[in-house]
Amino acid sequence: MVILKLRIRSADEWRELAPGDTVAEPVFVPTTDELEPGQQVIVEVSSQILPNKVLVRGAVQAWRPALPRMRVRAGATVELATDEQTKLTFLHDVFSGKRTDVQRRRHHRLPVNVTVRYRVAHSSSFVDSAISEIGVGGALLTTHEPLPIDTELTLEVVPPGAAAAIAIAGRVSYHVPSGGSGLRFVSRDGDGDRRLRELIRRLRAS
Protein backbone atom coordinates (compact mmCIF):
# COMPACT_ATOMS: atom_id res chain seq x y z
CA MET A 1 0.00 0.00 0.00
CA VAL A 2 1.22 3.52 -0.81
CA ILE A 3 2.24 5.60 2.21
CA LEU A 4 1.90 9.36 1.79
CA LYS A 5 4.11 11.30 4.19
CA LEU A 6 2.52 14.47 5.55
CA ARG A 7 4.88 16.67 7.54
CA ILE A 8 3.03 19.34 9.54
CA ARG A 9 5.01 22.36 10.76
CA SER A 10 2.26 24.30 12.52
CA ALA A 11 -1.33 24.12 13.72
CA ASP A 12 -2.34 26.58 10.98
CA GLU A 13 -0.85 24.33 8.29
CA TRP A 14 -2.78 21.33 9.67
CA ARG A 15 -6.06 23.28 9.59
CA GLU A 16 -5.34 24.38 6.02
CA LEU A 17 -4.85 20.80 4.84
CA ALA A 18 -7.51 19.21 7.09
CA PRO A 19 -10.18 21.88 7.63
CA GLY A 20 -12.97 19.43 8.57
CA ASP A 21 -13.55 17.79 11.94
CA THR A 22 -15.03 14.57 10.51
CA VAL A 23 -13.73 11.89 8.16
CA ALA A 24 -16.52 12.82 5.75
CA GLU A 25 -14.44 15.88 4.80
CA PRO A 26 -11.23 15.12 2.86
CA VAL A 27 -7.62 15.91 3.71
CA PHE A 28 -5.20 17.36 1.15
CA VAL A 29 -1.78 15.71 1.04
CA PRO A 30 0.95 17.44 -1.00
CA THR A 31 2.70 14.88 -3.21
CA THR A 32 4.20 14.85 -6.70
CA ASP A 33 3.43 11.13 -7.12
CA GLU A 34 0.48 10.75 -9.49
CA LEU A 35 -2.29 8.73 -7.85
CA GLU A 36 -5.47 7.20 -9.20
CA PRO A 37 -8.97 7.95 -7.81
CA GLY A 38 -10.03 5.17 -5.44
CA GLN A 39 -6.45 4.11 -4.73
CA GLN A 40 -6.02 2.96 -1.12
CA VAL A 41 -3.33 4.85 0.77
CA ILE A 42 -1.97 5.44 4.27
CA VAL A 43 -1.35 9.04 5.32
CA GLU A 44 1.62 9.23 7.70
CA VAL A 45 1.26 12.44 9.72
CA SER A 46 4.40 13.62 11.51
CA SER A 47 5.19 16.80 13.42
CA GLN A 48 7.29 18.08 16.30
CA ILE A 49 3.95 18.77 17.99
CA LEU A 50 2.95 15.09 17.91
CA PRO A 51 4.42 12.49 20.30
CA ASN A 52 4.54 9.90 17.48
CA LYS A 53 3.75 9.61 13.80
CA VAL A 54 0.05 8.94 13.23
CA LEU A 55 -0.87 6.65 10.34
CA VAL A 56 -4.38 6.96 8.93
CA ARG A 57 -6.06 4.88 6.22
CA GLY A 58 -7.90 6.49 3.33
CA ALA A 59 -8.69 6.49 -0.39
CA VAL A 60 -7.69 9.00 -3.05
CA GLN A 61 -10.54 11.14 -4.35
CA ALA A 62 -8.43 13.03 -6.87
CA TRP A 63 -4.85 14.04 -7.65
CA ARG A 64 -3.73 17.31 -9.23
CA PRO A 65 -0.40 18.36 -10.74
CA ALA A 66 1.45 21.46 -9.67
CA LEU A 67 0.65 24.81 -11.30
CA PRO A 68 3.74 26.93 -10.45
CA ARG A 69 2.47 30.14 -12.02
CA MET A 70 -0.67 29.96 -9.87
CA ARG A 71 1.28 28.78 -6.81
CA VAL A 72 -0.76 25.56 -6.67
CA ARG A 73 0.97 22.54 -5.14
CA ALA A 74 0.71 19.04 -6.55
CA GLY A 75 -1.17 16.72 -4.25
CA ALA A 76 -3.97 14.31 -3.53
CA THR A 77 -7.35 14.84 -1.93
CA VAL A 78 -7.81 11.89 0.41
CA GLU A 79 -11.04 10.67 1.98
CA LEU A 80 -10.22 9.05 5.32
CA ALA A 81 -11.67 5.68 6.26
CA THR A 82 -14.85 5.92 8.32
CA ASP A 83 -13.32 4.05 11.26
CA GLU A 84 -10.42 6.53 11.51
CA GLN A 85 -12.50 9.27 13.18
CA THR A 86 -10.79 8.70 16.55
CA LYS A 87 -7.36 9.42 15.01
CA LEU A 88 -8.60 12.50 13.16
CA THR A 89 -10.11 13.88 16.37
CA PHE A 90 -6.84 13.14 18.19
CA LEU A 91 -4.86 15.06 15.55
CA HIS A 92 -7.18 18.07 15.72
CA ASP A 93 -7.05 18.07 19.53
CA VAL A 94 -3.24 17.90 19.67
CA PHE A 95 -2.63 20.54 16.99
CA SER A 96 -5.20 22.89 18.57
CA GLY A 97 -3.66 22.48 22.02
CA LYS A 98 -6.73 20.80 23.55
CA ARG A 99 -4.68 17.70 24.38
CA THR A 100 -1.28 17.90 26.01
CA ASP A 101 -1.41 14.70 28.05
CA VAL A 102 -0.34 12.29 25.30
CA GLN A 103 2.65 10.00 25.84
CA ARG A 104 5.15 8.83 23.28
CA ARG A 105 4.85 5.23 22.07
CA ARG A 106 7.91 3.04 21.65
CA HIS A 107 6.60 1.60 18.37
CA HIS A 108 4.57 3.00 15.49
CA ARG A 109 1.15 1.51 14.70
CA LEU A 110 0.15 0.49 11.17
CA PRO A 111 -3.52 1.17 10.32
CA VAL A 112 -5.12 -1.94 8.83
CA ASN A 113 -8.48 -3.60 8.37
CA VAL A 114 -7.74 -7.25 8.99
CA THR A 115 -10.11 -10.05 9.98
CA VAL A 116 -8.90 -11.95 13.05
CA ARG A 117 -10.28 -14.13 15.79
CA TYR A 118 -9.48 -14.18 19.47
CA ARG A 119 -9.91 -16.45 22.46
CA VAL A 120 -10.06 -15.15 26.00
CA ALA A 121 -7.86 -16.99 28.53
CA HIS A 122 -9.49 -20.09 30.03
CA SER A 123 -12.04 -20.24 27.18
CA SER A 124 -11.99 -22.81 24.39
CA SER A 125 -14.13 -20.84 21.91
CA PHE A 126 -12.92 -18.19 19.47
CA VAL A 127 -14.69 -14.92 18.62
CA ASP A 128 -14.52 -13.50 15.08
CA SER A 129 -13.33 -9.91 15.04
CA ALA A 130 -10.94 -7.51 13.30
CA ILE A 131 -8.02 -5.23 14.11
CA SER A 132 -7.79 -1.63 12.90
CA GLU A 133 -4.13 -1.06 13.77
CA ILE A 134 -1.12 -3.12 14.75
CA GLY A 135 2.48 -2.57 15.81
CA VAL A 136 5.27 -4.53 17.44
CA GLY A 137 3.92 -3.56 20.85
CA GLY A 138 0.21 -4.17 20.39
CA ALA A 139 -2.98 -3.78 18.34
CA LEU A 140 -6.45 -2.25 18.44
CA LEU A 141 -9.12 -4.96 18.49
CA THR A 142 -12.64 -4.21 17.27
CA THR A 143 -15.15 -5.29 19.91
CA HIS A 144 -18.86 -4.52 20.33
CA GLU A 145 -18.28 -4.00 24.03
CA PRO A 146 -14.85 -3.14 25.51
CA LEU A 147 -13.14 -6.12 27.09
CA PRO A 148 -12.19 -5.64 30.75
CA ILE A 149 -8.76 -4.13 31.37
CA ASP A 150 -6.07 -6.82 31.93
CA THR A 151 -8.10 -9.48 30.08
CA GLU A 152 -5.61 -11.98 28.68
CA LEU A 153 -6.32 -13.42 25.24
CA THR A 154 -4.83 -15.13 22.22
CA LEU A 155 -5.15 -13.36 18.88
CA GLU A 156 -4.99 -15.37 15.65
CA VAL A 157 -4.06 -13.56 12.41
CA VAL A 158 -3.44 -15.00 8.94
CA PRO A 159 -0.56 -13.08 7.30
CA PRO A 160 -1.15 -12.01 3.67
CA GLY A 161 -0.05 -14.80 1.36
CA ALA A 162 0.06 -17.40 4.15
CA ALA A 163 -2.19 -20.42 4.66
CA ALA A 164 -1.95 -20.72 8.43
CA ALA A 165 -2.66 -18.22 11.19
CA ILE A 166 -0.10 -17.10 13.75
CA ALA A 167 -1.09 -16.84 17.40
CA ILE A 168 -0.15 -13.79 19.46
CA ALA A 169 -0.65 -13.47 23.21
CA GLY A 170 -2.01 -10.14 24.40
CA ARG A 171 -3.57 -8.28 27.30
CA VAL A 172 -6.20 -5.51 27.17
CA SER A 173 -4.54 -2.29 28.35
CA TYR A 174 -6.93 0.51 27.29
CA HIS A 175 -10.25 1.34 25.62
CA VAL A 176 -11.21 3.74 22.82
CA PRO A 177 -14.50 5.69 22.51
CA SER A 178 -15.62 3.60 19.52
CA GLY A 179 -15.72 0.51 21.75
CA GLY A 180 -12.44 -1.02 20.66
CA SER A 181 -10.03 -2.72 23.04
CA GLY A 182 -6.35 -1.79 22.93
CA LEU A 183 -4.03 -4.77 23.27
CA ARG A 184 -0.46 -4.99 24.53
CA PHE A 185 1.38 -8.03 23.21
CA VAL A 186 3.04 -10.08 25.95
CA SER A 187 5.32 -13.08 26.47
CA ARG A 188 6.93 -13.00 23.05
CA ASP A 189 10.10 -15.06 22.61
CA GLY A 190 12.66 -14.26 19.94
CA ASP A 191 10.92 -16.32 17.27
CA GLY A 192 7.54 -14.82 18.15
CA ASP A 193 8.95 -11.33 17.78
CA ARG A 194 10.39 -12.23 14.36
CA ARG A 195 7.05 -13.65 13.17
CA LEU A 196 5.23 -10.54 14.39
CA ARG A 197 7.60 -8.22 12.51
CA GLU A 198 7.17 -10.36 9.39
CA LEU A 199 3.37 -10.11 9.76
CA ILE A 200 3.58 -6.31 9.95
CA ARG A 201 5.91 -6.21 6.94
CA ARG A 202 3.46 -8.26 4.89
CA LEU A 203 0.51 -6.13 5.96
CA ARG A 204 2.39 -2.96 5.03
CA ALA A 205 3.24 -4.39 1.59
CA SER A 206 -0.24 -5.77 0.83
Domains defined along the chain, listed by start: 2-96 (2.40.10.220), 110-205 (2.40.10.220)
Share of the chain above pLDDT 70, in %: 92
CA distances (Å), origin 107, targets 36, 139, 148: 31, 11, 24
Q: How confident is the model over 133-152, as a mean pLDDT? A: 88
Contact indicator for 159, 199 with CB cutoff of 8 Å: yes
Q: Does residue 183 have a pLDDT over 70?
A: yes
**Which of the residue ranges 58-62, 74-78, 93-97 would you say has the lowest mean pLDDT?**
93-97
Q: Does residue 205 have a pLDDT over 70?
A: yes
Q: How confident is the model over 44-68, as a mean pLDDT? A: 91
Task: Report the C-alpha dihedral over residues 19, 23, 10, 77, rounded to 10 degrees.
Answer: -80
- Give the pLDDT score at 103: 62
pTM of the predicted model, to two decimals?
0.67
- Give the pLDDT score at 171: 92
The candidate with the shortest Cα–Cα distance to 2, out of 46, 33, 45, 47, is: 33
- Give the pLDDT score at 107: 62
- Give the pLDDT score at 178: 66
Q: Give bridge partners of residue 128 from the DSSP assignment.
A: 117
Three-class DSSP labels, 32-58:
CCCCCCCCEEEEEEECCCCCCCEEEEE
Residues 98-137 pLDDT 10s: 877 766 565 677 888 899 999 998 888 999 999 988 988 8
CA distance 132 to 121: 22
- Give the pLDDT score at 197: 86
Per the prediction, the chain carries an average pLDDT of 88
Burial class (CB in 10 A: 0-12, 13-18, 19+), 55: buried
- Give the pLDDT score at 119: 93
Residues 14-28 pLDDT 10s: 999 999 999 999 999
* Model confidence band, residue 188 (pLDDT cutoffs 50, 70, 90): low
**Which of the residue ranges 21-30, 131-140, 182-191, 193-202 would you say has the lowest mean pLDDT?**
182-191
| CB-based contacts of 165-169 (< 8 A; 24+ apart in sequence) | 166/195, 166/196, 166/199, 168/192, 168/196
Q: Does residue 141 have a pLDDT over 60?
A: yes
